[in-house]
């Protein structure tokens, strides 16, 4: 390994949400933070170096995206995801959650509905709700320890007021890398029912072999013509704070409408370090990514083995992508409140409460394993002590 992911770096007092918001969020600032989805590793040195180099110039005026910035995205998406995109399809957006809000605002009216497939990343529910759109739920089906989409359920759940479906591709919190067939089927149903698909592909670069991420828009003409894809280097290279997401829209009409919406508030104007960091990541981050994925995969297996050997009442859903592990704690037979209290008050751990992701998350907690192994080991030991002391 060229990069040392075992290094423990103190993030406290850097305004890191993960460490410095523990007090307000969990009522205790002295917890091991395994919640919000960023990692405790240094980003690829090429990103830091590019930022430092540019900062040395000392003038931080209005900035435009360079040709190299676009090329780096186009090459990355082609090489890693076998999807050929054109420069004009791409636009900077100031975050994917914000992008979802923009699509809802731009393409739906208040009497229209948004479809989501819970348990799923909570802003998929919160953002449309705060925009006064009703949500239609098509829960995922749990089968042999993995989630799959309920395509028949989707056909039954939708009605003519449904206008947008938000797809988490790959899935958070279950970690599924959807199959080509699942994506083709979703594309077919949505196209035929005039439901625009937002494909949130923020976790796409972190798929573990043999799973391979498939961009939604690449699976069929119906998918390409009826979707808005969001991607970002933020999860991949641990640069969420830099905010460097982008949208990709092959369909002319959808793209013109969305780009005009963005332009009306200058939302498509990125900032100096966003362009720079994204380009450095895509041009020079490949080796780092390979190593971080290998480290993350070992962390996932470590959690799985530890639980099997020491806390068999808790089962890890092995993610096919990314660094979030969905823990099935139902065999502890605790109410959700007592489950959260076991983690926070007894084990001194800050994980995400499964119910955040929908009622289907009852009995679950989401663990972020994007941290040095020593932290994971300590967290699991705390958890074992807490479970043992309760004799559950
Ligand atoms: C599925 C998914 N989408 C979007 C985001 C956040 O993206 P952004 O910071 O660009 O809004 C996250 C972060 O955890 C996520 O898991």
Looking at residue 244, its pLDDT comes to 97
Using CA atoms, how far apart are residues 177 and 53, in angstroms rounded to an integer? 37
Rounded Cα gap, residues 59 and 237, in angstroms: 26
Question: Residue 84 corresponds to which tokens in the numbers above?
Answer: 């050929």
Within 10 A of 78 (CB to CB), how many other CB atoms are there?
12
pLDDT 10s digits, 256-285? 999 999 999 999 999 999 999 999 999 999
CA angle at 290 for the pair 244 and 248, rounded to the nearest 5°:
35
48 CA to centre of ligand 1 in angstroms: 22
Q: What is the spatial distance between Cα 349 and Cα 207, in angstroms, rounded to a whole number?
A: 26
Distance of alpha carbon 83 from the chain centroid: 20
| 93 Cα nearest atom in ligand 1 | 10
The residue whose CA is least distant from atom 7 of ligand 1 is 96
Give average pLDDT by consecutive 10-residue segment, the chain, 392 residues.
96 98 97 98 98 98 97 98 98 98 98 98 98 98 96 98 98 98 98 98 98 98 98 98 98 98 97 98 98 98 98 98 98 98 98 98 98 98 96 72
3-state secondary structure of 162: strand
CA of 96 to the centre of ligand 1 (A): 6
Question: What separation in Å is there between the alpha carbon of 93 and the centre of ligand 1?
Answer: 12
The pLDDT score that the predictor gives to residue 387 is 97
DSSP classification of residue 43? P
Average pLDDT score over the chain: 98
Domain-wise residue ranges, the chain? 17-44+287-385, 61-283
Cα(12) to centroid(ligand 1), Å: 22
CATH for 61-283 is 3.40.640.10
d(CA 198, ligand 1 centre) in Å: 13
Residue 241: per-residue pLDDT:
98
| Pocket probe mutation, ligand 1, options 93, 170, 202, 319, max atoms within 8 Å of Cβ | 202
pLDDT of 391 reads: 75
* Cα 203 to ligand 1 centroid, rounded to whole Å: 8
Of 17, 35, 116, 121, the residue with max ligand 1 atoms within 8 A of its CB, to mutate for a pocket test, comes to 121
| CA 300 to chain centroid | 17
Please identify, by atom number, the ligand 1 atom nearest to the C-alpha of residue 98. Answer: 11
Separation between Cα atoms, residue 71 and residue 86, nearest integer Å: 9
The SS3 of residue 3 is coil
- The pLDDT of residue 49 is 98
What Rg do the C-alpha atoms of the chain give, in angstroms? 21
Q: How far apart are CA 77 and CA 89, in angstroms?
A: 12
CA distances, 214 to each of 77, 182, 187 (Å): 11, 11, 13
Query: Ligand 1: distance of its center to the CA of 286 in Å?
Result: 21
Q: What is the pLDDT of residue 316?
A: 98
- Report how far residue 352's alpha carbon sits from residue 340's, in angstroms, rounded to the nearest whole number: 9
Instruction: Please tell me the distance between residue 389's alpha carbon and the centre of ligand 1 in angstroms.
Output: 36
Q: How far is Cα 159 from Cα 280, in angstroms, rounded to an integer? A: 44
Q: What is the CATH T-level fold of the domain 17-44+287-385, as seen in this structure?
A: 3.90.1150
Which residues line ligand 1 at a C-beta cut-off of 6 Å? 37, 95-97, 121, 168, 172, 200, 202, 232, 234, 240, 245
What pLDDT does residue 388 have?
96
Distance CA 25, CA 17 (A): 10
Return the pLDDT at 390.
86
Q: Best of 92, 93, 97, 124 to mutate for ligand 1, by most ligand atoms within 8 A of CB? A: 97
Q: Whose CA is nearest to atom 14 of ligand 1?
A: 37
Instruction: Give this prediction's pTM.
Output: 0.98
Residue nearest to atom 13 of ligand 1 (CA): 37
Taking each helix axis as running N to C, give the angle between helix 123-130 and helix 96-107, from 0 to 180 degrees, rounded to the nearest 10.
40
């Amino acid at each position: 390994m060229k990069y040392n992911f075992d290094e423990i770096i103190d993030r406290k007092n850097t305004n890191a949400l993960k460490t410095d918001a523990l007090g307000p969020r969990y009522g205790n600032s002295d917890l091991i933070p395994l919640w919000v989805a960023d990692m405790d590793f240094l980003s690829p040195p090429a990103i830091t170096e590019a930022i430092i180099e540019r900062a040395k110039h000392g003038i931080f005026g209005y900035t435009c995206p360079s040709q190299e910035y676009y090329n780096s995205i186009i090459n990355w998406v082609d090489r890693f995801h076998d999807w050929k995109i054109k420069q004009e399809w791409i636009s900077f957006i100031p975050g994917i959650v914000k992008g979802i809000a923009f699509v809802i605002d731009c393409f739906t009216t208040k009497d229209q509905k948004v479809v989501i497939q819970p348990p799923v990343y909570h802003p998929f529910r919160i953002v449309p709700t705060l925009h006064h759109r009703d949500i239609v739920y098509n829960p995922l089906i749990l089968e042999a320890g993995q989630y799959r989409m309920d395509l028949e359920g989707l056909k039954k759940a939708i009605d003519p007021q449904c206008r947008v479906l938000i797809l988490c591709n790959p899935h958070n919190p279950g970690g599924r890398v959807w199959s080509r067939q699942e994506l083709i089927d979703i594309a077919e149903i949505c196209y035929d029912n005039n439901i625009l698909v937002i494909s949130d592909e923020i976790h796409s670069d972190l798929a573990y072999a043999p799973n391979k991420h498939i961009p939604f828009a690449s699976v069929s003409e119906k998918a390409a013509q009826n979707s808005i894809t969001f991607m970002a280097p933020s999860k991949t290279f641990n640069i969420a704070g830099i905010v460097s997401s982008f949208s990709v829209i092959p369909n002319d009409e959808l793209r013109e409408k969305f780009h005009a919406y963005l332009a009306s508030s200058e939302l498509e104007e990125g900032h100096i370090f966003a362009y720079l960091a994204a380009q450095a990541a895509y041009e020079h981050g490949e080796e780092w990514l390979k190593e971080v994925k290998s480290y993350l995969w070992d962390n996932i297996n470590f959690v799985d083995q530890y639980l099997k050997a020491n806390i068999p009442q808790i089962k890890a859903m092995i993610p096919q992508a990314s660094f979030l592990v969905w823990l099935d704690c139902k065999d502890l037979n605790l109410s959700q409140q007592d489950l959260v209290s076991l983690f926070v008050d007894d084990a001194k751990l800050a994980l995400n409460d499964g119910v955040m992701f929908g009622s289907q998350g009852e009995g679950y907690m989401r663990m972020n394993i994007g941290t040095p192994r020593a932290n994971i080991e300590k967290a699991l030991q705390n958890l074992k002590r807490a479970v043992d002391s309760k004799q559950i």
